[in-house]
Structures are given as structure tokens and as C-alpha cells.
Amino acid sequence: MTILLTTLNARYTHASLGLRYLLANMGELQAQTRIQEFVIGAKTTELVERILAAQPQIVGFGVYIWNVEETTKLVAMLKRVAPHVVVVLGGPEVSHETNEQAIVQLADYVVTGWGDVTLPKLCRDILHGPKPLMKVHAGVQPPMADIALPYALYSNEDIAHRTLYVEASRGCPFKCEFCLSALDKTAWPFAIDTFLEQMEALHARGARVFKFVDRTFNLNIKTSLKIMQFFLDKLAANPDDPVYAHFELVPDHLPDALKEGIAKFPPGALQFEIGIQSFNPTVQANISRKQDNDKAAANIRWLCEHSHVHMHVDLIAGLPGETVESFAEGFDKLWALGPHEIQFGILKRLRGTPIIRHTDSFGLVFDPHPPYTILANRDIDFPTMQRLVRFARYWDLVANSGRFTHTIHLLLGARPFDGFMAFADWLYANTDATHRIALDRLAAMVGRWLQLQGMGEDDVAALLASDGHGVRTKVNKAAGVAAPQRQARHLAA
């Protein structure tokens, strides 16, 4: 083994599609190349030891926003103990602003953008000469038909225990300035019949969960229908052996033919991720996002009311021109549509994205460290942005977790954003925590808050019990907080 391709995944269950693409396209070097995946949070010394145990001449690292800091430490240590090993970087995090990054300074070479063709060529030159003189190599984009598909490289272990990422296309025709896909000229599809043959092979090997990473699954409706029919055929052939597919959809493009196909899926078979990001037309114009809000809202409502799709809809706080008030209005509008989850994201400055053009005019201030989250802007100061960050975290714990299905409606009240923000402010004031809040403690705090809003103790207990929480609380009115009933005697003393 001469070449090792590696990355630090966010979780073990995430199998790197990018590494498998690279391995599939290594040509005559494939027999000398191996993949070795790690998970963030591991000890750097142990990772270096495991890498060097393979005795590679070249190590290629996939660098992403979630692993760049740990990968930088890893590369630094690797070059100290084994300076003869050639380090090649690739991935979205090092494809832009390369001159500013410590990890790039540590490495021998960098491939920016598409690596399917450029990495194998670079490795040939490193191994056989002439030795490349340039450090940074711009990735060459080959015709889609020339890219070898990687799905046979998912192991049986991957199929049994990990999320399988697949893509029927690359790129995106839209220009939303917070997204790296804004740099794409269009979307490029793979040949649909070839792609479905690969999906057939995966299914035959036991794959049942398919997560599509396409930015715009419903861009080409004919292709979308073919892919959905593939899964419908599997469900029809064996209803007791269900498949599950996740797609990212354009919200305002849902013609009747697609609705008809979607309506055929049973519960638990489909999940859609839909990026609304903002309902504010001024904000949409600021970030070059084209979206028919009325159509988008109508499509989400239709999906919620007439299909069994699990709906995951995204909003982003901190966009240029978005005030707390306008964001709250969009949040309330989206909540009224009834999606299963609202993913409350905070704007991040991904390297290379055009969002930085608004830095001066909108006073955008970003954390200089990954994941480069916005700290403040012209319309939202730092303390308020921190309140929004806590709102997002608590929203995941309470609303998106599915553990408070009945309780959440009373928790939000008539004005959902304002209702949950008040709860989030109170929860933080009384826990000083946003992570590692045990479920029983969280349920108790929810119950206390509802009692402070005037709900009777028995009604609160019944409501929480309907969501599976056997918590009863007594409110300490004088202190303005509540404690579990077993602790009430201590407060009274």
C-alpha cells in the first residue's frame, strides 16, 4: 500500500462518499491505495500511529469545516514524526483561501475543487516524476460519464451499520450566497440508468437507507420520478422489507406528477430536507436567492397534509438584512405549515462563499475559528445572537427531538417564536447550560415553565405523561422557578 486516503468523519455512522470517489478513480494506482476513516475526537497520537502502521508514501486528507482543526493538529504531528510522508489535502475547506490556512502551510500539496482526475495525476507525478513544482493544484472537472461511480466500494460493514451517501448529480444552478454551491455554474447529472444500476447493486447487497446529497433532487422531474419509482418498486416487491430515502428539495418546484409519486410512499419511507432559509423577500434578494414564497409555502403545506413524508425544513438566522422580528415572522409562518422539524441554523461564513461581499454594508462579524458562525451584524448585536444560538439548541432538544410532541404546542402559545424564546431565556437563566441536559431534567424544566405560565400542576403532569414523561413539579412562586416535587420540601425549608 503506497497511498492512504483518510478523513475525520463527524460520526462513525457517516461513511465518506468523497474518499470512495477518489479511490474509484485512481486508475492503475487503485491497487496501491487504501481508505482509512477516523472520527473526530480521537487522540492525535493514536491517529498518527495508525496512519504510519500502514507505511504509506502519500497520505491524502479530506478536509471539511467540522474536522479542519483536528486535521491540522494531525498533519502537524505527522510531518514532525514522519517528514518523508507526502501529505496531500483536498476538500471544500481547503479549496478556497488556501494561502491563509495553517494546514495548507503544513502540507506538501493541495487539490482544490474536483479531485477525481487531479488527485490520481498528482500521485503519479509524486511517485514517478517529474516531481510537481506547484503546491496548489486546481481540480479538473471531467465529463460526468468519465467519473467512475464509487458505490461498490461501500463494504458490507458500511451497508450494515452506516449511512450510505449517494448522488444522482453534482452542483446546483442556484446562487444562494451563503452556500458553496453558489460557485457552481449549473447542476451536472450522472447518467440515470447507470446510477440506478449502482443503486440496484447496493440494494441487492442489503442496503436499505439511501441519503441523497444532491442539492436539487427535484430540478429535473423526469429524473426524480425515475428515482422515486426505483424505491416504489422495491417497496411493492417486498412491503415487509422497507427502504428509506432522504432527498433535498427545491421548495417552490413541486409539479403534479411529482406529487402523485410522492403520495404513493408509505410512512417512514421518505424524508425531505427543504431549505426555506428566509421568507423575507428583501433578505432573499440580498443573498441572490430566487424563491416563490407562496408556492414554497403551498408545497410544504401539501406535503404535510397529503403525504407521509417526514419534513425537515431549514431556516437561517443572521442573514444580511434579517432582523429578529422578520425572522420571527418567518419562523411563525413555517411553524403554521406543520413540518415535522424546523432546523434553526445560524449563518456560517464558509470559505469561498460570496456572502462576504456584505461584510461592510451589513456589519457581518464572524467567529474566526470553525465553523465560522456569525457573532453579530448590523441588525442583531452579539448578546441577541447568542440568544438565537441558545434558541436553536433548545429547539433541537425540545421540538425536533420528537420527545415533546403534545407539549410543544402549549409551550409555544399563540406566537411560537416569542413563546419559545421566552422559554429559552428562562431555561438558560435557570440551568446555565445548553448541552448535556438529561431528558428527565429537561422535562421537569418544561413542566415548571408551563406552571409559571399559569397551567395547573395536574394538567402539566398529564400533558408531560402524554409524551412519556412521568414528571410532577411544584412551582416556587417566590423564587420564580420550580423544582421537582421530591425537592419542594427543601425549598420550603
Asked, for residue 336, whether it belongs to a domain, the answer is yes
Looking at 116, 144, 172, the residue that finishes a domain is 144
What are the CB-based long-range contacts (under 8 Å, 24+) for 138-141? 138/112, 138/113, 139/90, 139/95, 139/111, 139/112, 139/113, 139/114, 139/115, 140/114, 141/113, 141/114, 141/117
Asked, for residue 157, whether it belongs to a domain, the answer is no
The 3-state DSSP class for residue 477 equals: coil
pLDDT in tens, 348-405: 999 999 999 999 999 999 999 999 999 999 999 999 999 999 999 999 999 999 999 9
Looking at 324, 353, 380, the residue that finishes a domain is 380
- Checking if the pLDDT of 477 tops 50, the result is no
What DSSP character marks residue 163?
Answer: B
pLDDT in tens, 73-85: 999 999 999 999 9
- Give me the CATH number covering residue 308: 3.80.30.20
Asked, for residue 158, whether it belongs to a domain, the answer is no
pLDDT in tens, 250-289: 999 999 999 999 999 999 999 999 999 999 999 999 999 9
For residues 31, 36, 37, 41, the Cα torsion angle rounded to the nearest 10 degrees is: -160
Q: How many helices, marked H, and strands, marked E, lie in the chain?
A: 18, 18
Asked, for residue 176, whether it belongs to a domain, the answer is yes
- 235: how many CB neighbours lie within 10 A of its CB? 16
- 251: how many CB neighbours lie within 10 A of its CB? 23
How confident is the model at residue 436, as a pLDDT?
87
pLDDT in tens, 111-127: 999 999 999 999 999 99
Are residue 222 and residue 240 in the same domain, yes or no?
A: yes
Q: Answer whether 477's CB lies under 8 Å from 448's CB.
A: no
How confident is the model at residue 470, as a pLDDT?
79
**CA 192/CA 198 separation, integer angstroms:** 10
Please report which confidence band the pLDDT of residue 481 belongs to, taking 50, 70 and 90 as the band edges.
very low
- Checking if the pLDDT of 484 tops 60, the result is no
Are residue 235 and residue 363 in the same domain, yes or no?
A: yes
Residue 7 phi, psi dihedral angles, 5° rounding = -160, 165
How confident is the model at residue 248, as a pLDDT?
95
Are residue 243 and residue 356 in the same domain, yes or no?
A: yes
- pLDDT (average), residues 154-168: 96
**CA 205/CA 222 separation, integer angstroms:** 27
- Checking if the pLDDT of 175 tops 60, the result is yes
The radius of gyration of the chain from alpha carbons, rounded to an integer in Å, stands at 25
Are residue 10 and residue 111 in the same domain, yes or no?
A: yes
Are residue 280 and residue 185 in the same domain, yes or no?
A: yes
Are residue 104 and residue 223 in the same domain, yes or no?
A: no
Please report which confidence band the pLDDT of residue 216 belongs to, taking 50, 70 and 90 as the band edges.
confident
Are residue 233 and residue 351 in the same domain, yes or no?
A: yes
How confident is the model at residue 480, as a pLDDT?
45
CA angle 369, 375, 376 (to 5 degrees): 150
Q: Answer whether 231's CB lies under 8 Å from 266's CB.
A: no
Q: Is 306 left (phi over 0), alpha (psi -120 to 50) or beta?
A: alpha
Asked, for residue 154, whether it belongs to a domain, the answer is no
The CA-atom distances, in angstroms, between 197 and each of 148, 171, 202, 392 are 13, 22, 9, 40
Please report which confidence band the pLDDT of residue 56 belongs to, taking 50, 70 and 90 as the band edges.
very high
Are residue 203 and residue 272 in the same domain, yes or no?
A: yes
Mean of per-residue pLDDT scores for the chain: 94
Asked, for residue 152, whether it belongs to a domain, the answer is no
How confident is the model at residue 234, as a pLDDT?
97
**How many domains would you assign to the chain?**
3
CB neighbour class for 360 (10 Å; exposed up to 12, middle 13-18, buried from 19): exposed
Please report which confidence band the pLDDT of residue 429 belongs to, taking 50, 70 and 90 as the band edges.
very high
- pLDDT (average), residues 133-152: 97
Please report which confidence band the pLDDT of residue 472 belongs to, taking 50, 70 and 90 as the band edges.
low
**CA 174/CA 353 separation, integer angstroms:** 13
- Checking if the pLDDT of 482 tops 90, the result is no
Are residue 472 and residue 364 in the same domain, yes or no?
A: no
Are residue 76 and residue 201 in the same domain, yes or no?
A: no
- What is the share, in percent, of the chain residues with pLDDT greater than 90? 92
Asked, for residue 189, whether it belongs to a domain, the answer is yes
Looking at 355, 380, 405, the residue that finishes a domain is 380
Are residue 200 and residue 319 in the same domain, yes or no?
A: yes
Are residue 350 and residue 254 in the same domain, yes or no?
A: yes
**CA 70/CA 8 separation, integer angstroms:** 8
CA angle 455, 458, 462 (to 5 degrees): 100
The 3-state DSSP class for residue 189 equals: strand
Asked, for residue 62, whether it belongs to a domain, the answer is yes
- The strand pair at 109-112 and 136-138 is best described as parallel
- pLDDT (average), residues 25-50: 98
- Domain containing residue 373: 163-380
- Checking if the pLDDT of 488 tops 80, the result is no
- The distance in angstroms from the start CA to the end CA of the chain is 71
The 3-state DSSP class for residue 170 equals: strand
How confident is the model at residue 473, as a pLDDT?
61
pTM of the model: 0.92
